[in-house]
Structure 1
Amino acid sequence: MNKIKLVAFDLDGTIADTLPLCIKAFRMAVQPYISQTLSNDDIIKTFGLNEEGMIRKVIKNEYWKQALQDFYPIYMKLHRFMCPQPFQGIRELIIQLRQNNLIVALVTGKGAKSCEITLQQLGMNSYFDRVITGNAERNTKHEALNELLNVYHLSPSEIVYIGDTISDIMQCKIVNVVCLSAAWNVDNSVKEDLERYNPGKVFHSIGGLSEYIFEHLQ
């Protein structure tokens, strides 16, 4: 692996514990417009798309637009008490990366508006050199990583992506980028899956991840 020049982060579950918040806000926004009750799993299956795409998966009629409009104020209100801060140590890691002249990007499946609400709430608006948000039709993280390679004229071995899901590993493989799996907020069965799909690249603490990255800057 070449010396790392760019570190791209996922947002939900990697930078902050926003997943319970995403699930609750989504359920509150869509439930008035559908007859069935959504389980957490039903909602999690829509992840990877932005909010428009997620909502359109469960509301098949025109009401999806109203549900989407309802989503943002609910999300903003819940954010203040459900997830006021990022994970401990993540700010410090990003600041250190930037002090070492690394490019730091954010690549998320979230929509632009919810991403902006989250960065504002966490006080992290100015932490990233580039923010690329999600798509309503499909998971576009590999395209976002490709965009970073082109914009900064880097080879795949000069960038790493930090994310907490199997799909993050798969998206990275498409563009030959190393995925560093963030396992500091996942349950044991997910940890086992990450270890199976990404052996030797699963990190159980932000400190462990930090050590790995700085070793690869030498």
Structure 2
Amino acid sequence: MRVPPHAGHVVPRRRRRSGPVMARSSRWDALLFDLDGTLADSIELILRSFRHTMQVHRGTVPPDSVWLASLGTPLREQLRAFARSDEELEAMVETYVEYQRSVHDEMVRAYPGVTDMLEAVARAGLRLAVVTGKRREMAARTLRVCGLDRFFSVVITADDAVPGKPDAAPVRAAATALGIARSDRILFTGDSPHDIAAGRAAGVRTAAALWGARERDTLLAAAPDYRVETIPELTALALG
């Protein structure tokens, strides 16, 4: 649904499931996706990692909304707001990452319908990339556990593009890696205002994924080009 006006890491591609080739979208050459809260249902994992880190290092846990407000930006930048020194920042990053590793696989799943959507757009010949604020190791692990790694030869992570979202750099890195010159032929879907801001700064079209954990009004206030309530709606937009 249209809202009224108001250099990257390339991973080996696995063979996709065979199927008929669909007519290619006349609107898009490439689709970019945020990972957490857009493709992967991983928000509770992220919040548990945050709560654990705050309890260990600060002895108190801020409201989840504080962490969600910065979700989508690099982890180090998120934690910098809570650290009292560079040394504490490094320790907090280590605590967060180690805890997340320990519980990751049991807590992460693809949102229902995501695999079918990616199958459809891949058969249509669209180029696909992930643009995430995660470090490469955990992004790859999330994609693998969700069974989505086979769809993406380009994954832009916090290790590849500095600065991260909401800067345009990671979105531009994905476009370059995919070989797409026309930014208006790229659609970037995410569940964070930082995703929308990064896409707008890069000149691509943006879609707000409203099935995630973000507050609807906050996400729409970022002025995405499209809003999609469900994953089937995103499929229709991508193939339109």
Same fold, judged at TM 0.5 (above)? yes
Mapped to 1, the partners of 2:193 and 2:171 lie a distance apart of 16
Q: Does residue 142 of the first structure (1) align with residue 168 of the second (2)?
A: yes
Q: Which structure's relative contact order is higher, taking Cα pairs within 8 Å and 6+ residues apart?
A: 2
Sort the Cα spacing of 1:101 and 1:199 in 2 relative to 1 into closer, same or farther, 3 A.
closer
Matches within 5 A, 1:103-142: 103-134=127-158, 138-139=164-165, 142=168
Contact 1:184–1:204 (CA under 8 A) maintained in structure 2: yes
Matching residue's letter, 1:108? T
Q: Does residue 157 of the first structure (1) align with residue 181 of the second (2)?
A: no
1:12 alignment counterpart: 36
Q: 2:96 aligned to 52, 55, 71, which one?
A: 71
Sort the Cα spacing of 1:138 and 1:36 in 2 relative to 1 into closer, same or farther, 3 A.
farther
| TM superposition score normalised by structure 1 | 0.84
Shift of 1:210: 0.5
Matching residue's letter, 2:169? E
Matching residue's letter, 1:174? A
| Deviation by residue 1:18-70 (Cα, 9 ceiling, x = unmatched) | 11210111221342122443221232244233222222321222133233223
Mapped to 1, the partners of 2:35 and 2:143 lie a distance apart of 9
Shift of 1:136: 7.7
- Name whichever of 88-97 and 66-75 sits farther off: 66-75
2:233 alignment counterpart: 208
Aligned pairs, number: 212
Q: CA RMSD in A?
A: 2.5
SS at match of 1:38: coil
1:173 alignment counterpart: 200
Contact 1:3–1:158 (CA under 8 A) maintained in structure 2: yes
Contact 1:203–1:209 (CA under 8 A) maintained in structure 2: yes
Shift of 1:193: 4.2
Shift of 1:166: 2.3
Mapped to 2, the partners of 1:101 and 1:77 lie a distance apart of 37
| Deviation by residue 1:67-125 (Cα, 9 ceiling, x = unmatched) | 32232332133223332x20011111112222222110000112223212312321222
Sort the Cα spacing of 1:114 and 1:170 in 2 relative to 1 into closer, same or farther, 3 A.
same
1:182 alignment counterpart: 209
Matching residue's letter, 2:229? H
Matching residue's letter, 2:28? I
Sort the Cα spacing of 1:200 and 1:105 in 2 relative to 1 into closer, same or farther, 3 A.
closer
Shift of 1:138: 4.9
Identity rate of aligned residues, in percent? 20
Matching residue's letter, 2:124? N
Matching residue's letter, 2:196? I
Sort the Cα spacing of 1:137 and 1:200 in 2 relative to 1 into closer, same or farther, 3 A.
closer
Deviating above 3 A after TM superposition, structure 1's stretches of 4 or more consecutive aligned residues are: 135-138, 192-200
| TM superposition score normalised by structure 2 | 0.77
Sort the Cα spacing of 1:15 and 1:35 in 2 relative to 1 into closer, same or farther, 3 A.
same
SS at match of 1:162: strand
Mapped to 2, the partners of 1:171 and 1:93 lie a distance apart of 23
Query: Gapped runs of 5+ residues in structure 2?
Result: 1-24
Matching residue's letter, 1:26? F
Sort the Cα spacing of 1:102 and 1:50 in 2 relative to 1 into closer, same or farther, 3 A.
same
- Name whichever of 166-175 and 28-37 sits farther off: 28-37
Mapped to 2, the partners of 1:137 and 1:57 lie a distance apart of 16
Query: Gapped runs of 5+ residues in structure 1?
Result: none
